[in-house]
Amino acid sequence: MDNQSIQQKIHKIQTGLQLVLKNSNDILLQPKLISMFLEEIGIALEELEVHQQELLASRCQVELERQRYQTLFNSAPDAYLVTNTKGVIQKANLAAANLLNVNRTFPVGKPIIVFVAQEDRSWVTTQLNQLTAFPLRDWEVRLQPRQCEPLTGSIAICTIPDSEGKGVELLWTIRDISGRKKAEAALEAQLNVDGLTQVYNRRHFDQVFDKEWQRSRRDQLPLAIILIDVDSFKRYNDSYGHQKGDQCLQQIAQAIRDVLKRPADLVARYGGDEFAVVLPNTDASGATEVAHLIQKAVQGLNIINNSNNYSNNYSSPISEQLTLSLGIASEIPKLDQKPGMLIARADSALYQVKATGGDGYAVCTNQGQGDRLGLGKLEEELEEELYRAVGQHEFILNYQPIMSLETRQILGFEVLVRWQHPKQGLIRPSQFLSIAEQTGLILPLGEWVLSTACWQLHEWQHLRNTIPLFISVNLSAQQLCHPTFLPQLQQILQETGISGSNLILEITENSLLAAKADGGIDLNQLQAEGIQLALDDFGSSYSCLAHLTNLPINIFKIDPFFIKTMESDPKNAAIVKTIIFLAHQLGITVTGKAIETPEQMASLQKLTCDYGQGFFLSEPMDAKGASSLIQVGN
C-alpha cells in the first residue's frame, strides 16, 4: 500500500463519518451507515497493518544491506576512505587504517592530504581542486603512513550520490603498489644494466644520450662523449681465457665509473670491449681531462702483471700492460644537428688513435677538426658537411643488377651509396668516400649502408615468385679492422633474418691485404657465417698470387680498365682470359664489371665469365625500380 492509497482510505472514512453524523436522527438508516463505516474502518486497519509489516520488512532489508555494506567496507582487502568533496575523511575501513598505520577512528575528521607524502602534497592539492570528472582511476600518489616509510598508492575515486543523485561524498579506493613499483624498477635496472660489468648498457646509453643532446641543444650547453676501446683485448682474451677477460672488463668498467664524480655523468658498455662516457655540460678541454684520468685509473690496475694464475714454468704470452684508446668529441648542439653526428666524431677520433698504435686519446672538436691528414680547403668544407650528413641520414642507396652471363637472369644487386646533398644535389662516392675513410666516418656510414641493404634484401625476399637473390656490399679496410664489425654484422643478419649465404662483401685487394696485416677480422669467421668475399677491381694492383691462395676469396671482379680495353688491346684481352681461367682453376667465380657494349658482353660470354654488370645490362636504380625489375621476372 502506497501513501496515495492510505490517503484515499482516510478520505473515505471521513466521508462515511460525516454521513453518519448527518443522518443521526434517521433510526432506520443510521445502523446501516454505522455498519458500513465500521466495515470500512476494519478494511483500512487491515491494510494499514499489512503496510506496517511491509515497511518493517523493508527497514529490515535496508538494515541488512547497510550491515552487509559495512561488513564489506570494513573487511575489504583494499583500503577504503570516504571523504566529503573537500577531501575531509568521514570513514575509514580496517585496511585503510592498517595502510596508514593508525586505528580506524584516527583519520576521521582529518584532511586526506595529511596522509600524502610531502613531495606530492602540492600536486595532489592542485589535482583535487581541479577534479570535475569521475570516476578517476590509476592515480599514483606517494602516501605517508604514520611513523613508517612512504609508500606508493594506486588510487581510484568515485562519487557517492545522495537521494537526489548529487555526489556529496567521495569513495577513495587505495592499493599499495610499492612492491610492484620496486619489481618494475628492478626489471628496468636489469634491462638497462650490463650483466657482466654492472655499468649501464648501450640501450640505456642511447636513451640518456638522446635526452642530454636535447637538453644541451635547448640550453646551448656543451655535451661531450668519450668512446673507449681496450687495446689488444682479443689477444688478451685468447691468451688468458674468457674468465680472465671478463674480470678484466669488470675492473676497467669499475675504474671508469670511479673517475666519474658528477651524478649526471654516465658510463656504459658500448660493445664487446668498448665503453662510452657521456659528460653533460663539458667542453673538449674538460672531456680531455676526464680521458686522462681514465687512462691513469686503468694504468693503475696493472692488469697484466697481476695475472699470477699460471704455473712457474709457464711464460705469459703477453708482457706489456693493457692500455686504452679513447676518442673524444664535444659539441654545443645546433638545431639542424642530430645526436649521431657527435658519436661519429668521437668514433673518428678513436679510429685515429687506433691507427697510430693505440694507448692514447684524440679530440675531434665541434668544427670537426682532428688530425686532418692534409685535406685541402674544399675538402675540409666537404668534411664538415659530411659529419652533418652522417648524423642526418642524407645518403641513399642505388642498386645495380648482377646477371648470369649465360642465362641473362638477375642473381643479385651491388649496392652503391650516393649522398643526397640538400644544396648540391646528388654527390657521387668518388667525391666523399676518401674523406669518409680519412676521418673515420666510413665506420658509421658503412654500418648504415650494410643494415639498409640487408633490410632491402629482406623485403625483396618476401616478394611473390622471386628467386633467391644476393646483395653485394662494398667494405673498407677500416671496417674490417674495427673490433665491432663482426658483432654488428651478425646482429644485422639476425635482425633482418637473411642468411649469410645471400650476402657478398666486396673489398679491394690492397684493402684486404692491409686489413690482414693490421690484425683485423679473421676472414674465416665471415666464411663461417656463410658470407662470400669478392675481390673488387682484381688486376688493378701488383698482386702476389701466394696471397690469393691463402685468402678465402669466392669471387673475382675484374677491373673495369681491362673490360673497356679488351676489344682494342690484345694484351688486355689475354689478361682477362687468364684471370677467368685462373679463377676457375681455383674454384672462384668471376664477374665482369662495367660492361658497356654488346661486343664486351659477347667476349666475356665466349671466355665463360660467370657474372656481369654494367650500363649495357642495366644502370643502377633505386629500390623501387629494382623491386619492379624483380617482379616482372628480370
CATH class of domain segment(s) 193-309+317-364: alpha beta
Instruction: Report d(CA 328, CA 577) in Å as an integer.
Output: 51
User: What is the domain partition of the chain in residue ranges?
Assistant: 3-73, 76-182, 193-309+317-364, 393-631
Instruction: Report d(CA 116, CA 294) in Å as an integer.
Output: 45
Residue pair 273/483 in contact (Cβ under 8 Å)? The answer is yes
Task: Tell me the mean pLDDT per 10 residues along the chain, length 634.
Answer: 64 66 60 67 74 81 75 78 88 89 89 90 83 74 89 88 72 89 78 88 90 91 93 81 90 94 91 92 90 90 55 41 88 84 87 77 61 40 76 88 93 93 79 78 89 94 82 89 86 92 89 63 84 87 59 89 88 91 92 92 95 92 91 70
Q: Is the peptide bond before 135 cis (omega within 30 degrees of 0)?
A: yes
Residue whose C-alpha cell reads 557517492 in the numeric block: 160
Give me the pLDDT at residue 305, please: 36
Q: Cα Rg for the chain, rounded, in angstroms? A: 42
442-461 vs 377-392: helix crossing angle, rounded to 10: 40
Q: Tell me how far CA of residue 245 lies from CA of 235, 240, 250, 300, 322, in angstroms.
A: 10, 7, 9, 17, 11
Grid cell for residue 172: 577513495
Instruction: Report d(CA 62, CA 68) in Å as an integer.
Output: 10
Residue whose C-alpha cell reads 662483401 in the numeric block: 505
How far out from the chain centre does Cα 588 lie? 41
Give me the pLDDT at residue 369, please: 42
Give Cβ neighbours of residue 385 (< 8 Å, ≥ 6 apart). 421
Q: Tell me how far CA of residue 256 lies from CA of 271, 449, 467, in angstroms.
A: 15, 33, 51
Grid cell for residue 366: 665541434
For domain 393-631, the CATH architecture is Alpha-Beta Barrel (3.20)
Q: What angle do CA 366, 477, 271 make, to 5 degrees?
A: 65
Instruction: Report d(CA 279, CA 299) in Å as an integer.
Output: 22
Give me the pLDDT at residue 513, please: 67
- The kind and range of the H/E element at 448 are helix 442-461
Q: Give which of 527, 182, 213, 177 is closest to 345, Cα–Cα.
A: 213
How far out from the chain centre does Cα 473 lie? 26
| Statement: 76-182 belongs to CATH 3.10.129.10 | no
**pTM > 0.75:** no
Q: What three-state secondary structure class fits 74?
A: helix
Give me the pLDDT at residue 598, please: 92
Q: Give which of 335, 426, 431 is closest to 375, Cα–Cα.
A: 431
Give backbone dihedrals phi and psi of 596, rounded to 5 degrees, phi first: -120, -10
Beta strands in 370-496 (DSSP E): 395-404, 410-421, 425-427, 470-474
> What is the per-residue pLDDT across 258-270, written as a single tens digit (0 to 9) for each?
999 899 999 999 8
Instruction: Report d(CA 355, CA 197) in Å as an integer.
Output: 27
